[in-house]
Each structure stands twice: as structure tokens, then as C-alpha cells.
Amino acid sequence: MNLSLVERFKTGLARSKEGFLRRLDHLFRGGELDDEFYDDLEETLILGDVGVEASLKLVEKLRLESKRRKVRERGQAREILVQEIAALLAGAAEPVKPAGEPLVILLVGVNGSGKTTTAAKLAHRYRQEGREVLLVAGDTFRAAAVEQLQIWAERAGAALIKQQPGSDPSAVFFDALQAARARHIDVVIGDTAGRLHTRTNLMEELKKINRVIDRVQPGAPHCVLLVIDATTGHNGIAQALHFNEAVPVTGLVLTKLDGTARGGIVVGIQDILKVPVCYVGIGEKIGDLLPFAADDFARALLA
């Protein structure tokens, strides 16, 4: 497996489309813009987990747009949709580090979405750029989550602030931000415990973390990234709504995109939260995190 990252990403995407490729090739290669075409398109979107509502909306919009622009060819119509989806999801800018203070990034999400691994990968990215990185072991609940992050921190060459399991995560963040200042850290990356968005007390805990961070360093966290597993179905929408209500989400990380799932739920989420997808996770290695490429993603979703 000596593939470069981009190649790996591409093969990942290629695998994702395997099942649909043949049928869709037929679908887009010439032919009328008839109901069958639109129905198939709808099916493709739904199969990609774009969500029923968002899929219907996108296809309806495409119908109108094709009519308006007098498009007659399937390939052309498809391109319009690709552009539409790409435009929806793009717009992630590299967060700017505030002068004299560390950039603070907070990772949130449901259990098993990949927060800890993403925290490590992000740390690695910033380390590659020569930044001083501090990881915060904010998951004090899950057994051995701290150990997991510690191992990653060593691999990434990042500092780590941790406390005893079961301690108040807000206190860990308090410590971490103090330490970050003292040690002239550039980027603070906070891992948090996975929580189902329906657990009120855990969402309150998240609000508290956010408040404490803001108190120690006004204006922080600068990025709150919601980590979404690419296999997630419609529940992703509810996750986005609830997490955003607790802590204003500034961007998404789409993980596990190296499987067969196409992660279309981010389209539906974007429709509600209006935040860009910032990164995609495409493997278990520390380097397997890439900036989101909206165009490639949209193409893979439809192809």
C-alpha cells in the first residue's frame, strides 16, 4: 500500500462508486431528461444518504434549472447538480490563528464517530506545518480514551493535557488553556466524550466546556467541528441540530469515507447548519485526514 494520499482518497472514492457506476454511466450518457432520469437521480442521492427531503429538493431544483437553461442532455444536467452540491459544501477556509493566543479547536460528536482519531490526525497536520500543538484529553468518560489519545499524541509529537478518568472535562480544558498560554502553544485541539445528542445532561456538559473555554480565552473555541461518520443515515440531521444548539458548530469532519458509504448526509446537514465540510477521514493512519474537496465529493456522490 504505497499509494499517495490523494491516490488513496481516489481509490476510496472509486470503490464507493463501484456499485452504481455502470447503471449511472448508462443513465448519464445521452438520453432524454425524462422522469426516469430524475427518478434514478433521486434514487442515487438517497442511496448516497443525502436524505429523502434534501434529495427531493435537489432533484426538483435541477428540474427547474434544466428547464430554465434549456438543457436537454443528461450529462449536462448532471454537471449542474455536481456544481450545485459542490457549491453547497465548499467554503471551508483554514482557520486563522489569533495573534498572541493559541487557536482552539473543539471536536464534538456522537459515540464512535471518530473524534479521538480525528483529533490525533489534526494534531499531526499542524505538527507537519511546524506548529506547536496541545491535545486535550476531554473524554474523561470512556474507558481508556485518555490512553488512546496519549498514544496518538506521542505519535504526532504533540503535548497532551489530561486528568484522572471521571474528572470534570471542563476542568481539563481550563488546565489545558492555561498550559497552552504558558507554553506558547499554537494550536489547542480538544477531544470530547462521544455523546448521543438526546442526552440532555451530556449536552449541558458540552455547553459548560464551551463556556469555560470562552472564559479562559475570550473568543475561543474558534472552531467547533462536528465529527460525522460517513455511514450515518438521517439521524445525522438530528445530531447536527442538537449539537449546534449546544455549541455553535463551525464546520464538519466527515470520517470513514474510505468505506463504501458516501457520506451524503452532510448535504442535508449543510442545508440546515450552513457550515462547510472542513476535512475528510480516509483511513486509520495518522496522515489519513484530507482537506475536503467539494468537487470530488459531489462527483463521487453522483457517479
Partner 1 sequence: MFASLAEKLQNTLRRLRGKGKLSEKDVDLALREIRLALLEADVNFKVVKDFVVGIRERAVGEEVRRSLTPGQQVVKIVHEELTALMGREQSKIILSGSPAVVMLAGLQGSGKTTTAVKLAVNLSRSGRKPLLVAADTYRPGAAEQLQVLADTAELPCYRNDGAAPLQICREAVRLAEREGYEPVILDTAGRLHLDDAMMDELKTIKAQLKPAELLLVVDAMTGQDAVNAASAFHEALGLTGVILTKLDGDVRGGAALSVRTVTGCPIKFAGVGEKIDALEPFHPERMASRILGMGDLLTLIEKAEAGFDQEKARQLEQKLRRQEFTLDDFLEQLQQVRQMGNMEDILAMLPAAQVPKDLQRLQVDEKQFGRIEALITSMTPQERNNPAIINSSRRRRIAGGSGNTVQDLNRLLSQFSQMKKLFKQVGSMEKKGFKHIGKGKRGFPFF
Is there binding between residue 152 and partner 1 (CB under 8 A)? yes
> How do beta strands 187-192 and 159-161 pair?
unpaired
DSSP code for 251: E
Rounded CA gap, 251 and 262, in Å? 18
User: Per CB under 8 A, which of residues 11..40 are in contact with partner 1?
Assistant: 15, 19
Q: Minimum distance from CB of 132 to partner 1 (Å)?
A: 22
In the complex with partner 1, which residue's Cβ is closer, 27 or 220?
27
- 43 or 84: whose CB is closer to partner 1? 43
Which of 66, 118, 148, 244 touches partner 1 by CB under 8 A?
148
* Cell numbers linked to 32: 432524454
* Number of residues forming the site for partner 1 (CB under 8 A): 51
Q: 217 or 239: whose CB is closer to partner 1?
A: 239
> In 10 A of CB 219, how many CB atoms?
10
The 10 Å Cβ neighbour count of residue 75 is: 12
Q: Is 113 in the site for partner 1 (CB under 8 A)?
A: yes
| 112 counts as binding partner 1 under rule CB under 8 A | yes
Q: Which of residues 178-207 bind partner 1 (CB under 8 A)?
A: 196-201, 204
CA atoms within a 13 Å half-sphere pointing along the CA-CB vector of 19: 10
| Grid cell of 18 as nine digits | 463501484
Site for partner 1, residues 214 to 273, rule: CB under 8 A? 229-236, 238, 256, 258-262, 265
**Closest by Cα among 83, 87, 54 to 272:** 54
186 beta partners? none
The region of 27-35, 86-94, 147-155, 270-278 touching partner 1 under the rule CB under 8 A is 147-155
Q: Which helix (H) or strand (E) holds 56?
A: helix 52-68
Residues in contact with partner 1 by CB under 8 A are 15, 19, 43, 46-49, 51-53, 110-114, 141-145, 147-152, 165, 196-201, 204, 229-236, 238, 256, 258-262, 265, 284
